Amino acid sequence: MPGRDGDTDIEQEPRSEPDKKLEIKSTGPNPGDFPDGGFEAWLVVVGGFCAIFSSFGWINCIGVFQNYYEQNQLKHYSPSTIAWIPSTQSFMLFFPGFIAGKMTDELGPRIPILLGSFLHIFGLMMTSISKEYYQFFLAQAVCSGLGCCFLFYPVIAACGTWFLRHRALAFGIMVSGSSLGGVVLPIMVQRLIPIIGFGWTMRAVAFTFLGLLVIANLTIKSRLPPARRPFKFTEMVSPFAEKPFLLLALAALFIYIGGFLPFNFLILQGEASGMSANMASYLVPILNAASIFGRIVPAHIGDTFGVFNVMIVLSAFGAIMTLALWLPAASNAPIIVYAVAYGFASGCTLSIIPAMVAKLGHISKLGARSGALYAFSSIGVLIGSPIGGAIQNRQHGGYSGLIIFSGVALIIGTFFAVFSRAAQVGYKLKVKI
């Protein structure tokens, strides 16, 4: 009978122990036999946590650099021009995802993770000695961002081979590393720069990541052998012929257009509303601290009530909070409350998508399919912040247009997620998916 993720459960007669060992030698692990736990499986989650702390966690603190560059090395450039650095870094995390995912499917996760570790550390070291705009762009946005990409997708694909019933929970725990990174790293950067300077701060961050990535390289592995399928360009585009996948990709596109604007501009908007620079510097860590719970708790609920159902509710909640709370916020209290509320919502919407992709195809193609979806939706990451910065410029420093743009994009993304769900099971509210 069909399994929960499209796999097939085949009833077999009990085999003797020697027969089982012979089967393992001849056919390898059964793709449908998920251990859903055990020492090796949770060790992969630990290693994945370290890798995602160092990669996605670094992307989550990009708002700090938007604020810092505007006041220091790049103060002669407009906010929209500066925004291309963090937005391109986020874009590089997502867009080459098909390459990273396909490489993982073909070679296993170890080689891509090793490559990503080198690129990320090298990019940060080069950022530490950068002086000009193009240097920051190439080192931080392109090189480090590409390294983050090769640290994210192999981890997702490897973890997916170990879990089925608790897959969303495992993904949530692992991806919560990005939230913890978003709490620790902004505070670390902002506190170290006045003491040891920008250059040595970036080197300190790079050495911290080096230690964590050693753990990741030693612990992350796939339960299944590499697929060894020849590359076909059609594999990158064929999933979009499936209506549920296409609608989910459009949902991710619009959610990423609006979803990263609070990370980039909340500090600046807080200071513009009269918040002290010291208090405003904690807004991104507060947002990311709340998203730790948003990554784990909804993921666990998603295993029970369906990942699509949970994602739709929380993405709608994030959009409502953006328009109803952040838009009129003009003092410290509502801005901080918004940081907490949106942090919790975004923790789910930005991390549960791999579990949603896993619902739409075979686990052996999770790396390539996740990469294809993220490559498409990364366009939203690339253009969202520059558009927001341009809107802010047109308003001569006002933030209402930027906030409305963010909220409307999140609403559109939520509707596409609803349509993706409906393409699979219709509009039956009680169906778990």
* pLDDT greater than 80 at residue 38: no
Q: What average pLDDT is seen over the chain?
A: 84
* Cα 8 from Cα 33, distance rounded (Å): 10
Residue 132: DSSP 8-state? S
Per-domain boundaries in the chain: 35-222+235-425
**Confidence tier at 2 by pLDDT (50, 70, 90):** very low
Q: What percent of the chain has pLDDT over 70?
A: 88
Please state, in angstroms and rounded to a whole number, the distance separating the CA atoms of residues 418 and 399. Answer: 29
Comparison of pLDDT for 334 and 153, the residue scoring more: 334
Alpha carbons 31 and 223: distance in angstroms, whole number: 9
Residues contacting residue 222 through CB under 8 Å, at least 6 positions apart: 104, 108, 109, 157, 158, 161
pLDDT at residue 20, as a whole number = 44
Distance separating alpha carbons of residues 153 and 373, to the nearest angstrom: 12
In this structure, which amino acid lies at residue 427? Y
Q: Does position 338 have pLDDT exceeding 80, yes or no?
A: yes
pLDDT at 31: 60
Q: Give the pLDDT band (50/70/90) at residue 211.
A: very high
Residue 103, pLDDT score: 84
Percent of the chain with pLDDT over 90: 39
pLDDT confidence bin for 26, thresholds 50/70/90: very low
Q: Which of 89, 101, 102, 99 is CA-nearest to residue 55?
A: 89
Q: Please tell me the total number of residues recorded for the chain in this structure.
A: 433
Residue 223: how many CB atoms within 10 A of its CB?
A: 21
Gyration radius of the chain over CA positions: 21
Alpha-helical (H) ranges within 5-38 are: 17-27
Beta-ladder partners of 2:
8
Alpha helices in 276-399 (DSSP H): 277-280, 283-305, 307-321, 332-349, 353-358, 366-394
| Residue where the block lists tokens 């790293």 | 185
Give residue-wise pLDDT tens across range 341-371: 999 998 887 667 777 887 887 666 766 787 7
At the topology level, CATH places domain 35-222+235-425 in Growth Hormone; Chain: A; (1.20.1250)
Distance CA 144, CA 55 (A): 9
Q: What is the pLDDT of residue 55?
A: 92
Phi, psi of 2 (to 5 degrees): -65, 140
Q: Is the pLDDT of residue 265 over 60?
A: yes
pLDDT tier at 375, thresholds 50, 70, 90: confident
Asked if residue 228 has pLDDT above 90, the reply is no
Q: What distance in Å separates the CA atoms of residue 383 and residue 258, rounded to the nearest whole number?
A: 10
Supply the pLDDT for residue 358.
75
Q: What confidence tier does 386 reach under pLDDT thresholds 50, 70, 90? A: confident
Report the candidate in 243, 239, 252, 298 with the shortest Cα–Cα distance to residue 420. 243
Distance of alpha carbon 315 from alpha carbon 384, whole angstroms: 17
Q: Is the pLDDT of residue 171 over 90?
A: no
Residue 13, Ramachandran bin (φ over 0: left; ψ between -120 and 50: alpha; else beta): beta
Question: Is the pLDDT reported for residue 4 higher than 60?
Answer: no
Listed range (3-12, 222-231, 379-388) with the worst mean pLDDT: 3-12
Range from 133-147, 247-261, 357-371 carrying the lowest mean pLDDT: 357-371
For residues 20 and 159, the model is more confident at 159
Residue recorded with tokens 């990942």: 307
Higher-confidence position of 316 and 18: 316
pTM for the predicted model, two decimal places: 0.76
Read off the pLDDT band of 17 (50, 70, 90). Answer: very low
Confidence of residue 230 (pLDDT cuts 50, 70, 90): low
Query: What's the rounded Cα separation, in Å, for the pair 254 and 410?
Result: 6
425 or 319, which is more confident: 319
Q: Nearest to residue 322, comparing CAs of 361, 287, 360, 294?
A: 287
Which has the closest alpha carbon to 259: 308, 310, 313, 315? Answer: 315
Q: Does the pLDDT value for residue 403 go beyond 80?
A: yes
Backbone angles phi, psi at 230, to 5 degrees: -65, 145
